[in-house]
Amino acid sequence: EPEVTQTPSHQVTQMGQEVILRCVPISNHLYFYWYRQILGQKVEFLVSFYNNEISEKSEIFDDQFSVERPDGSNFTLKIRSTKLEDSAMYFCASSEGPRGVGTQYFGPGTRLTVL
């Protein structure tokens, strides 16, 4: 069964450093998403991406965040200057297309720890 993959599974970084989280969505999917979940809290939407541009972003997704689809398979989330409060699990998701936009499949997540 096709699945979303994410690397690394765990990333530890110092405050102020840049991190790039990587995702490989399901191959025929057209819509891509990033969510995050701070420990003990709910899953929160960060950004959606379609046709090589951002469709929607949340208030959390400020100028420190960016997303890119550098090639036909990878989808990345960059945090330019990490803060302590960026520590969370980051989930990538993808969905098929207009009819299946709500049926999103999640990757296993990257646990980001900012020290």
State which of residues 1, 53, 71, 102 lies at the interface with another protein (CB under 8 A).
Answer: 102
Minimal distance, residue 70 CB to another protein, in Å: 21
Give the span between the Cα atoms of 105 and 96, in whole angstroms.
9
Asked if 55 interacts with another protein (CB under 8 A), we say: yes
Ramachandran area for residue 24 (φ above 0: left; ψ -120 to 50: alpha; else beta): beta
Asked if 34 interacts with another protein (CB under 8 A), we say: no
The footprint of another protein (CB under 8 A) covers: 31, 33, 35, 41-45, 48, 50, 55-56, 58, 89, 91, 93, 95, 101-109
